[in-house]
Amino acid sequence: MKKLFILLLFTGLVYACGSNDSSGTDAGNNAGKPAPATTAPDDDGIGKFKNVQVSPTLDVAKAEAGLKVYDVKCASCHKLTDERVVGPGWKGVTARHTPAWILNFATNVDEMLEKDPKAMAQLEICLVRMPNQNLTDNDAYNVLEFMRKNDGVQ
């Protein structure tokens, strides 16, 4: 019975990943569908945030507020190191992704996991969809500032 469950789980994961791989990659398949709010060619991801500029110095108050959000909504799946638990570790995340991409992923996770190539690739590695945490834009900015602090921004 356990082997059957593992086989069914594996088959479901392969099917889920396979269906994500083909979505949005062929422009011909999108005929008649509404265009996403933004596209990902400039690494901003998919969502309302584009070309987000951050200060070279840390906003300590926002970082502290971001720590509180992290403790409640993020810490169970993400470590502050490069260690992967359920989701990837956060060390170096602000070097790997633009601020707009991070904000779009935090606030538009479902669409990002369906259409953004970087998010889809991460899903294939982690095999678990990040649940929508219903972050407000303000919470997302605070978490971004906390991520910057974790990456050494002073």
Band (pLDDT 50/70/90 cuts) for residue 122 is very high
Nearest partner of 141 among 48, 76, 43, 38, judged by Cα: 48
Is the pLDDT at 30 greater than 70, yes or no?
no
State the burial class of residue 44 (Cβ atoms within 10 Å of its Cβ: 0-12, 13-18, 19+). Answer: buried
Nearest partner of 127 among 53, 54, 18, judged by Cα: 18
Tens-place pLDDT, residues 82-102: 999 999 999 999 999 999 999
Is the pLDDT at 29 greater than 70, yes or no?
no
Contact 46, 112 (CB under 8 A): yes
Residue for token pair 């070279």: 56
Band (pLDDT 50/70/90 cuts) for residue 2 is low
pLDDT score at 42:
57
pLDDT score at 89:
94
Distance in angstroms (rounded) separating the CA atoms of residues 144 and 153: 11
Query: pTM for the full model?
Result: 0.72
Tens-place pLDDT, residues 33-65: 333 333 344 589 999 999 999 999 999 999 999
Residues 50-80 as b or e (16 or more Cβ within 10 Å = b): eeeebeeebbeebbebbbebbeebbeeebbb
Rg (CA), the chain: 17
